[in-house]
Amino acid sequence: MIVRCVRIISPHGELTDAYPGVHVGGQYVVLEMYSDAEVYYVRILGDDGESPGTLWDPSMFETVDPRIPTCWTMTLEDGMLRAAPSRWHRVGFWNDYFDRVPQALADFEEGQAATLVESTCL
């Protein structure tokens, strides 16, 4: 899935003209989507290309390419809906990733690579 930034909302919820990692008009590959009763976000591979991508309010974007990567699966658990590479769904994945657990790092790299292979920015 590829999206285009149409406005920038800072992590504090305010409209802004600029923010590191994203720019209006930029096209971005979506790496993950998450929603629950209180929050909704998309993880994109931003301008800086930093792993694991950055989390943004989806109202900042419009869809350029709606195709969902075949490596993605969806889970619904405890009111949370996630769409991401299948290995990212395991309990504790993001904690392990940020703790630099080798298996989580490998799972992230594999999921990101599989997503990018199917996504070409126009």
Whole-number Å distance between alpha carbons of 75 and 60:
24
Write down the pLDDT at residue 122: 44
Indicate the pTM of the whole model: 0.89
Neighbours of 19 (CB within 10 A): 18
The pLDDT assigned to 120 comes to: 67
Question: What integer pLDDT is reported at residue 105 of this predicted model?
Answer: 95
pLDDT average per 10 residues of sequence, the chain (122 residues): 94 88 94 90 87 90 94 91 94 94 96 88 46
- Which pLDDT value is given to residue 98? 95
